[in-house]
Amino acid sequence: MSYQDVFVLFWEQVKVSVQEGRFAKLTMAKTIGKLNFKNIFIRPVYAEDGFKVLLKFHYRSRETEDKEEVLTLEEAFVVLKSHLREPFLSVLLFTTTKDVIFKINKKGAGSITETLPSFHDVTQAKNEIE
């Protein structure tokens, strides 16, 4: 199964965790090479107009300012999908009941594994963009 198909299955778990109020955080990590681009983080934002996420582009260099934007879950999916494999090889979903790890191997195949939860509570991101 292609990594894109496996990522769609992974994203279904993200949506379920949001619907059940268990979504704590999502991180894209493990880049190919030593790029200035270090991580992408997603934290929940419960706004008056429904559930949103704070998407943060985090850079290694202190000279490059991190970028943040508030998006819907579907908008975040499009952004994350565009960064799969180039440059990120893993996506970690942290929920209050389990951690779900999506990885792409050297041959381009995707896999999903689950571990015990790292977070026990959901902490909403501070929306400083408004």
Average pLDDT over residues 90-95: 96
Q: What percent of the chain has pLDDT over 70?
A: 92
Q: How confident is the model at residue 128 (pLDDT cuts 50, 70, 90)?
A: very low
* The pLDDT value given to residue 126: 61
Question: Considering the chain, what is the average pLDDT of its residues?
Answer: 88
Average pLDDT over residues 60-64: 81
* The pLDDT value given to residue 125: 66
User: Measured between alpha carbons, how far is 106 from 108 in angstroms, rounded to an integer?
Assistant: 5
Is this model's pTM higher than 0.75 or not? yes
